[in-house]
Amino acid sequence: MTRERHEDFDLTASVILMPGETVQTSTMTILNEDPTGTVAIQPYNKDMPYDPIPGKYEGQVLHVNFHALASNKASVVITLKVPCNELSFWHYLHGSPSTKVTCISEDGSQSQQMLGDSNDLPLQVHFSGERISRLQISGISASEWFVIDHFEFS
Protein backbone atom coordinates (compact mmCIF):
# COMPACT_ATOMS: atom_id res chain seq x y z
CA MET A 1 0.00 0.00 0.00
CA THR A 2 1.32 3.45 -0.94
CA ARG A 3 1.51 6.05 1.79
CA GLU A 4 0.27 9.50 0.85
CA ARG A 5 2.44 12.51 1.70
CA HIS A 6 1.65 16.20 1.57
CA GLU A 7 3.26 19.62 1.74
CA ASP A 8 1.33 22.69 2.84
CA PHE A 9 4.36 24.83 3.85
CA ASP A 10 2.87 25.49 7.31
CA LEU A 11 5.95 23.99 9.03
CA THR A 12 8.36 26.02 6.88
CA ALA A 13 9.59 29.37 8.18
CA SER A 14 8.86 32.44 6.08
CA VAL A 15 11.61 33.07 3.54
CA ILE A 16 12.18 35.11 0.39
CA LEU A 17 14.34 33.41 -2.25
CA MET A 18 16.48 35.72 -4.31
CA PRO A 19 17.68 34.55 -7.76
CA GLY A 20 19.54 31.23 -7.53
CA GLU A 21 18.57 30.56 -3.90
CA THR A 22 16.85 27.44 -2.57
CA VAL A 23 14.76 26.46 0.42
CA GLN A 24 14.27 22.97 1.83
CA THR A 25 10.99 21.70 3.22
CA SER A 26 10.37 18.23 4.61
CA THR A 27 9.29 16.99 1.15
CA MET A 28 11.06 19.15 -1.45
CA THR A 29 13.75 21.62 -2.45
CA ILE A 30 12.51 24.80 -4.16
CA LEU A 31 14.90 26.70 -6.46
CA ASN A 32 14.28 30.20 -7.78
CA GLU A 33 15.77 30.00 -11.29
CA ASP A 34 14.75 33.49 -12.32
CA PRO A 35 17.66 35.93 -12.69
CA THR A 36 15.76 38.91 -11.21
CA GLY A 37 12.51 37.85 -9.53
CA THR A 38 11.75 36.43 -6.09
CA VAL A 39 9.96 33.36 -4.79
CA ALA A 40 8.74 33.19 -1.20
CA ILE A 41 7.12 31.06 1.43
CA GLN A 42 4.98 33.55 3.32
CA PRO A 43 1.54 33.58 4.93
CA TYR A 44 -1.61 33.94 2.88
CA ASN A 45 -2.98 36.83 4.90
CA LYS A 46 -5.85 39.26 5.29
CA ASP A 47 -4.32 41.64 2.72
CA MET A 48 -4.81 39.08 -0.05
CA PRO A 49 -7.74 39.56 -2.46
CA TYR A 50 -9.82 36.62 -1.16
CA ASP A 51 -10.24 34.72 2.09
CA PRO A 52 -8.24 31.49 2.56
CA ILE A 53 -9.92 28.19 1.67
CA PRO A 54 -8.84 25.32 3.96
CA GLY A 55 -7.36 22.42 2.02
CA LYS A 56 -6.62 24.61 -1.02
CA TYR A 57 -4.69 27.66 0.16
CA GLU A 58 -4.21 28.83 3.73
CA GLY A 59 -1.46 29.51 6.25
CA GLN A 60 2.00 29.49 4.70
CA VAL A 61 1.91 29.29 0.88
CA LEU A 62 4.45 29.33 -1.94
CA HIS A 63 4.39 32.74 -3.64
CA VAL A 64 5.66 32.52 -7.21
CA ASN A 65 7.19 35.76 -8.53
CA PHE A 66 6.58 37.25 -5.07
CA HIS A 67 7.37 40.87 -5.92
CA ALA A 68 6.34 40.56 -9.58
CA LEU A 69 9.79 41.77 -10.61
CA ALA A 70 10.84 38.77 -12.66
CA SER A 71 12.55 38.96 -15.97
CA ASN A 72 10.39 37.83 -18.85
CA LYS A 73 9.39 34.18 -18.41
CA ALA A 74 10.55 33.33 -14.88
CA SER A 75 11.13 29.76 -13.69
CA VAL A 76 10.86 27.81 -10.42
CA VAL A 77 12.15 24.23 -9.98
CA ILE A 78 10.74 21.92 -7.29
CA THR A 79 12.75 18.75 -6.63
CA LEU A 80 11.02 16.09 -4.55
CA LYS A 81 13.00 14.39 -1.79
CA VAL A 82 11.15 11.12 -2.45
CA PRO A 83 9.83 10.32 -5.95
CA CYS A 84 6.11 9.66 -6.33
CA ASN A 85 3.70 8.28 -8.93
CA GLU A 86 0.96 10.86 -8.42
CA LEU A 87 1.25 14.53 -7.55
CA SER A 88 -1.25 17.36 -7.21
CA PHE A 89 -1.32 20.94 -5.94
CA TRP A 90 -3.63 23.97 -5.85
CA HIS A 91 -2.84 27.34 -7.42
CA TYR A 92 -4.64 30.63 -7.06
CA LEU A 93 -4.52 34.19 -8.42
CA HIS A 94 -2.85 33.05 -11.65
CA GLY A 95 -3.86 34.64 -14.95
CA SER A 96 -0.97 34.38 -17.43
CA PRO A 97 -1.66 32.19 -20.49
CA SER A 98 2.04 31.36 -20.89
CA THR A 99 2.79 29.57 -17.59
CA LYS A 100 3.39 25.83 -17.89
CA VAL A 101 4.27 23.09 -15.44
CA THR A 102 6.61 20.33 -16.59
CA CYS A 103 6.57 17.11 -14.59
CA ILE A 104 9.84 15.17 -14.88
CA SER A 105 10.32 11.52 -13.87
CA GLU A 106 13.61 9.99 -12.74
CA ASP A 107 14.07 8.40 -16.19
CA GLY A 108 13.79 11.84 -17.83
CA SER A 109 10.31 11.37 -19.28
CA GLN A 110 8.18 14.50 -19.15
CA SER A 111 4.58 15.65 -19.27
CA GLN A 112 3.34 19.25 -19.35
CA GLN A 113 0.26 21.25 -18.47
CA MET A 114 -0.51 24.92 -18.91
CA LEU A 115 -1.75 26.56 -15.71
CA GLY A 116 -5.33 27.67 -16.05
CA ASP A 117 -6.78 31.02 -15.04
CA SER A 118 -7.26 30.88 -11.28
CA ASN A 119 -7.83 34.58 -10.61
CA ASP A 120 -11.38 33.99 -9.35
CA LEU A 121 -11.30 30.34 -8.30
CA PRO A 122 -8.45 28.08 -7.14
CA LEU A 123 -7.56 25.27 -9.54
CA GLN A 124 -5.93 21.92 -8.90
CA VAL A 125 -3.15 20.50 -11.09
CA HIS A 126 -2.67 16.71 -11.18
CA PHE A 127 0.12 14.58 -12.66
CA SER A 128 0.51 10.80 -12.82
CA GLY A 129 3.72 9.10 -13.88
CA GLU A 130 6.43 6.65 -12.97
CA ARG A 131 8.69 7.98 -10.18
CA ILE A 132 8.03 11.71 -10.56
CA SER A 133 11.03 13.56 -9.13
CA ARG A 134 10.82 17.17 -10.28
CA LEU A 135 8.49 19.97 -11.40
CA GLN A 136 9.49 23.03 -13.37
CA ILE A 137 7.13 25.99 -13.45
CA SER A 138 8.17 28.20 -16.36
CA GLY A 139 6.95 30.88 -18.73
CA ILE A 140 5.82 33.06 -15.84
CA SER A 141 5.29 36.59 -17.16
CA ALA A 142 7.15 39.49 -15.52
CA SER A 143 4.02 40.91 -13.86
CA GLU A 144 2.49 37.57 -12.82
CA TRP A 145 2.28 36.73 -9.11
CA PHE A 146 0.36 33.71 -7.83
CA VAL A 147 0.27 31.25 -4.93
CA ILE A 148 0.64 27.48 -4.73
CA ASP A 149 -0.33 25.31 -1.77
CA HIS A 150 -1.41 21.84 -0.61
CA PHE A 151 0.79 19.45 -2.57
CA GLU A 152 -0.17 15.79 -2.28
CA PHE A 153 2.08 12.90 -3.30
CA SER A 154 1.48 9.15 -3.50
Residues of the chain under the 70 pLDDT cut: 1-3, 46, 68-73
- pTM higher than 0.85: yes
pLDDT of residue 140: 79
pLDDT recorded at residue 1: 35
Q: What per-residue confidence (pLDDT) applies to 93?
A: 84
Dihedral sign, CA of 91, 103, 116, 3? negative
In three-state form (DSSP H/G/I as H, E/B as E, the rest C), the secondary structure along the chain is CCCCEEECCCCCCCEEECCCCEEECCCEEEEECCCCCCEEEEECCCCCCCCCECCCECCEEEEECCCCCCCCCEEEEEEEEEEEEEEEEEEECCCCCCCEEEEEECCCCEEEEECCCCCCCCEEEEEEEEEEEEEEEEEECCCCCEEEEEEEEC
> For the chain, which domains are there?
5-153 (2.60.120)
